[in-house]
Structure 1
Amino acid sequence: MYKVLLVDDENRVLKSLENGVDWEKSGVCVAGKANNADQALQLVQEIKPHIVFTDIRMPGLSGLDLIEKIQEIDPKIQFVIISGYADFSYAQRSIMYRVLGYCLKPFDEDEIAELLQKAIEILNKGNTATSMLQDTKNNSLQQILKFVDDNYMSDITIQELAKRYYLNPNYLSQLFKRELGLTFTEYLTAARMRTAQDLLHTTTLSIREISENIGFKDYFYFIRKFKKETQKTPGQFRKEHYRHG
């Protein structure tokens, strides 16, 4: 039976994850739990897990830094990121580390079971043709994410992206959701909102100008979307965060 290590700085999250999933049904067992990266690294040496579920934001070493260190110990270990934040920059970096998936809290047991099945298939097949296929998929997605990051101010659609990279639109939509835990629209919106916050923080551009610069044709839609993402209007955000000089 494959062993799973759970890593999160909140005990209630660890308990919820451990008790909320039928691990044995998927053919695995929870062999250890850790509250921080140091504990996790020690347990990796002691229990030698096959699969690691790790939070991405923790005090000290981040989840991605932890993954990098664990991969140096055993590159065959499979990883799933758990997070309460739909943060596209973290999701993008996770692709570089061949992370199997990005699960947002609260957890979906069916989604976790699917990721466990994928991990088990990879572990069963070792470092055969599967690793090569994973590399190809990751490289393609990295190229797509870079294009979106460079062109988010344009009117990008999933259909145009799929055509550019010779993919089926439905497959590309599934790829975003499965690998990043985000839809294409959520990823695009996150890129735009991050730039909007930066412009509000560092420039005197009007809110309408910022809206246009990041790809929103409808000024009022931008304001609604910004408030939904940040719980503040652009004006409130600027008042609280604007850096003079």
Structure 2
Amino acid sequence: MYKIFIVDDEEYVIKSLIKSIQKIQSGFEVVYTSNNSINAHDAILKTMPDLVFTDIRMPGMNGLELIKSVKEVLPGTIFIVISGYAEFVYAQKAMNYGAIGYCLKPFDDSEITDLLKKAKGMLDMSNSQPEGPDLISLIEEPNDRSGPVINQYFADNGIDISKKVVIAASIGYKQLAFEKNVKHVHIKTGNAKHLYFFQYMGEADIRQLFSEKLHDGIKGIGISGTFNTIGGIKNSIEEATSLGYQYFITGKHSLYFRPQTDNSHIDGLLRKLEKNISNPDIFEVNKTLTEVRTIVANGRLNVKQAMKIYNYFISLSNNLDCEYYGEYIYSIEELCTSFKDVNAMITQLESMLLDASSKKRRDMKDEIKNKYFLKILDYVNLNFHSEISIQSLGKIFSINPSYISQLFRKEVSMTFTDYITKLRVEYACSLLHSTKYTIEDIANKCGYSDYFYFIRVFKKATGVTPGQFRKS
């Protein structure tokens, strides 16, 4: 049964809709309701329902704001708008935000039936990947039998790995649809990340195949270089995924191929930053940051290099005379959710340098620490399984993110990232022992939308993979 969450500030509307849904018996059940949109927002992020019915006009947070905010964190959540006749224009706006339809008050059972059928079709499709071997585990944790199994599964789907194969990685909550004659293998690796394996058909044909797929909900599609051995799959996945996130650099939802540019200048810049870590010179570092902006403007930076630059600056901050304490970022996905784009990242780094030269007072911060840190910790303990970062905590509590990072080091003797990882891994261990959820589901429930990254983090923390832990 798929789960429904109903949000409306009028109790009789909720009861009426529950009655209609129960009467229809369409494979859905109402498991959550709320007449407060702000409370509903937090509850939706925690409970992760499949479908949300929401009113448009509500105090605190209206339906449009609710849809937009939830979609940023849980892009796969389906929304249906509950609308009055006078709110038709708002319902149309909601559909532009990603709602699949609207039902008018008073409710008509046939109208709700059609909407539930549409929602169920979408959910069934997203869960309809043909049963087969756990390709993700076989690729990530190779063993003696993985080669023949992978070869056979690809062959059964019309793909010969011994010939040229290419991977497309789409970043966005929508699964791409292809004509029946387009043979491919699909792997979902996260809430908003999909991989598609194709026999190589030439760049022009690939552009034609994917150009029409860049619709709302798809931020970027990365195309790997070709490979013809099982050993080439893992690197090609990494390359395609990295290219898919290139929208973070360009600001464009586009199709990205392996660039044919000379990276020697960027490599030299990275070496310069690395040299500066042990003996930083603020003037020289600021000059280097200006160079980075120029490289971004010329489209010559990739997202992995952006992550390196960010982490180099975090290392620099530890040696600069400033109040800035940043957190290292360990995946490109984390980078792309922490900042709107690369320019926002650079702006924060510039702020760090400004902080180094102005030396803010500590006494005001000491007052804030005594007043707020416990609240911050309580919030993190309750929301660690959601998309949460130093930047988002800074916005919620109106405190400089670098100071929050400093507080974690002082008060719990570990970085914010280490603290979050500890909570998530402990929760994952509990779910692995006490439930029959798939490892991918557990990754999502613990706050990891990237399955591969979850496996690496878990193994680093426990010494074994999630699969091995479950068997132990």
- Quote the offset at 1:23 in angstroms: 6.2
1:128 to 159, 171, 175: 175
> CA separation in 1, counterparts of 2:105 and 2:39?
22
Matched position secondary structure for 1:30:
strand
1:91-144 CA-partner distances (Å, limit 9, x unpaired)? 3312311211111100011111111111111122223235988958xxxxxxxx
Partners of 1:54 and 1:80 within 8 A in 2: yes
Normalized per residue, the structure richer in helix is 1
What amino acid does structure 2 have at the position aligned with 1:128?
Answer: Q
Partners of 2:45 and 2:70 within 8 A in 1: no
Partners of 1:78 and 1:99 within 8 A in 2: yes
> CA separation in 1, counterparts of 2:46 and 2:7?
15
Q: How many residues align?
A: 136
Matched position secondary structure for 1:87:
helix
Partners of 1:76 and 1:123 within 8 A in 2: no
1:157-197 CA-partner distances (Å, limit 9, x unpaired)? xxxxxxxxxxxxxxxxxxxxxxxxxxxxxxxxxxxxxxxxx
Residue matched to 2:111? 111
What amino acid does structure 2 have at the position aligned with 1:109?
Answer: D
Consecutive unaligned residues of structure 1, counting only runs of 5 or more, are: 137-245
Residue matched to 1:87? 87
**Judging changes above 3 Å, is the alpha-carbon distance between structure 1 residues 45 and 87 closer, same or farther for their aligned structure 2 residues?**
closer
Partners of 1:3 and 1:50 within 8 A in 2: yes
> CA separation in 1, counterparts of 2:5 and 2:97?
17
> CA separation in 1, counterparts of 2:50 and 2:113?
15
**Judging changes above 3 Å, is the alpha-carbon distance between structure 1 residues 16 and 31 closer, same or farther for their aligned structure 2 residues?**
same
> CA separation in 2, counterparts of 1:135 and 1:125?
18
Residue matched to 2:76? 76
> CA separation in 2, counterparts of 1:6 and 1:88?
19
Residue matched to 1:44? 44
Partners of 1:86 and 1:104 within 8 A in 2: no
> CA separation in 1, counterparts of 2:88 and 2:13?
22
Provide the alpha-carbon RMSD of the alignment: 2.4
**Judging changes above 3 Å, is the alpha-carbon distance between structure 1 residues 133 and 107 closer, same or farther for their aligned structure 2 residues?**
farther
Q: Which has the higher contact order (CA 8 A, sep 6+)?
A: 1
Matched position secondary structure for 2:57:
coil
Consecutive unaligned residues of structure 2, counting only runs of 5 or more, are: 127-173, 179-211, 217-472
Partners of 2:56 and 2:91 within 8 A in 1: no
- Quote the offset at 1:83 in angstroms: 1.7
Partners of 1:9 and 1:35 within 8 A in 2: yes
> CA separation in 2, counterparts of 1:133 and 1:29?
33
**Judging changes above 3 Å, is the alpha-carbon distance between structure 1 residues 124 and 11 closer, same or farther for their aligned structure 2 residues?**
same
Once structures 1 and 2 are overlaid, which stretch shifts more, 92-101 or 102-111? 92-101
Partners of 1:53 and 1:81 within 8 A in 2: yes
Matched position secondary structure for 1:31:
strand
**Judging changes above 3 Å, is the alpha-carbon distance between structure 1 residues 20 and 99 closer, same or farther for their aligned structure 2 residues?**
same
Residue matched to 2:67? 67
1:174-225 CA-partner distances (Å, limit 9, x unpaired)? xxxxxxxxxxxxxxxxxxxxxxxxxxxxxxxxxxxxxxxxxxxxxxxxxxxx
What amino acid does structure 1 have at the position aligned with 2:29?
Answer: C
Matched position secondary structure for 1:129:
coil
Residue matched to 1:53? 53
Partners of 1:3 and 1:29 within 8 A in 2: yes
Partners of 2:24 and 2:113 within 8 A in 1: no
Residue matched to 2:281? none
Matched position secondary structure for 1:43:
helix
> Identity of counterpart residues, as a percentage?
43
TM-score, normalization by structure 2 = 0.27
Matched position secondary structure for 2:85:
coil
